[in-house]
Amino acid sequence: MNKQQVVVIATRNKGKVKEMEELFAKRGFQIHSLDDYEGIPEIEETGSSFYENALIKAHYVADLLQVPVIADDSGLEVEALDGQPGVYSARYAGEEANDADNNAKLLRELSQKLTFPSDKLPVGHPPVWSAADFVCCIVLADPARKQHARFEGRCPGYILGEARGHNGFGYDPYFYLPEYGKTMAELTVEEKNKISHRGKALRQLIELVY
Ligand SMILES: O=P(O)(O)OP(=O)(O)OP(=O)(O)OC[C@H]1O[C@@H](n2cnc3c(O)ncnc32)[C@H](O)[C@@H]1O
Ligand SMILES: [Mg+2]
């Protein structure tokens, strides 16, 4: 295998890997995630922004492996929760929380703050709690040139009152897209990449660099 055709992503999130594979495979690149290497420790995400956390992950792994590395830091910003869970999206319900725990906490927080449903979505759509955005920051770190590049994407939607769909990961089953009449978890990987925060950031990166 040609070494130049491997792209290293500093993630252990299989959902992210699948979405990145869909876009990189079209350009003839193969993805390696942290699960493809032995002995890479957990990287502490101590930053206070998506950008800072993406920088930490990309530089840590690039310095360790001495190859260019991409990192994605992303999350959900809910309008009615003043932008929470934001950078804490992966650990909203605690350090060991899984997607189900985080989704349960999201609905709990909304129900403590608001009366369901919000009247903000037009008639003809299912009831929602609040407007929300998925946000993604991607950093490409190059250890040889000691440089990095930054790419960002945002995807607007609403938090639905019930889970729908089984695709994707994280908050996808509750993230409703009025233009599709579906949640993110009801879209295929290809459809999600066309409109998602990650798809938008990744396409900018791929067009510029690969
Ligand atoms: O840090 P890595 O190893 O990349 O994997 P992670 O899952 O911890 O990823 P983040 O630190 O970037 O946290 C992002 C969290 O935000 C949520 N999230 C991000 N993008 C999402 C998406 O496309 N769909 C649903 N939830 C998403 C989901 O809960 C993620 O765990
Ligand atoms: Mg993480």
What CATH architecture is 3-209?
Answer: Alpha-Beta Complex (3.90)
Q: Residue 14, exposed/middle/buried by CB under 10 A (0-12, 13-18, 19+)?
A: exposed
Q: pTM (2 decimals)?
A: 0.97
| Centre of ligand 2 from the C-alpha of residue 21, in Å | 18
pLDDT of residue 37: 97
pLDDT of residue 1: 43
d(CA 70, CA 11): 9
What would the pLDDT profile of 110-123 be if each residue is shown by its tens digit?
A: 999 999 999 999 99
Delimit the domains of the chain by residue range: 3-209
Question: What residue owns the CA closest to ligand 1's atom 31?
Answer: 90
Q: Which ligand is nearest to the CA of 40?
A: 1
pLDDT of residue 146: 85
Among residues 177, 105, 145, 136, the alpha carbon closest in space to that of 13 is found at 136
pLDDT of residue 41: 96
How much is the ipTM here?
0.99
Tokens of 134: 């998925």
Q: Which residues of the chain have pLDDT under 70?
A: 1-4
Best residue among 74, 88, 164 to mutate for probing ligand 1's pocket (most ligand atoms within 8 Å of CB) is: 74
| Centre of ligand 2 from the C-alpha of residue 122, in Å | 35
Q: How far apart are the first and last CA of the chain?
A: 18
Pocket of ligand 1, beta carbon within 6 A: 11-13, 16, 45, 72-76, 89-90, 102, 134, 168-172, 184, 196, 198
pLDDT of residue 145: 83
The answer to whether residue 73 is catalytic is yes
Best residue among 49, 136, 169 to mutate for probing ligand 1's pocket (most ligand atoms within 8 Å of CB) is: 169
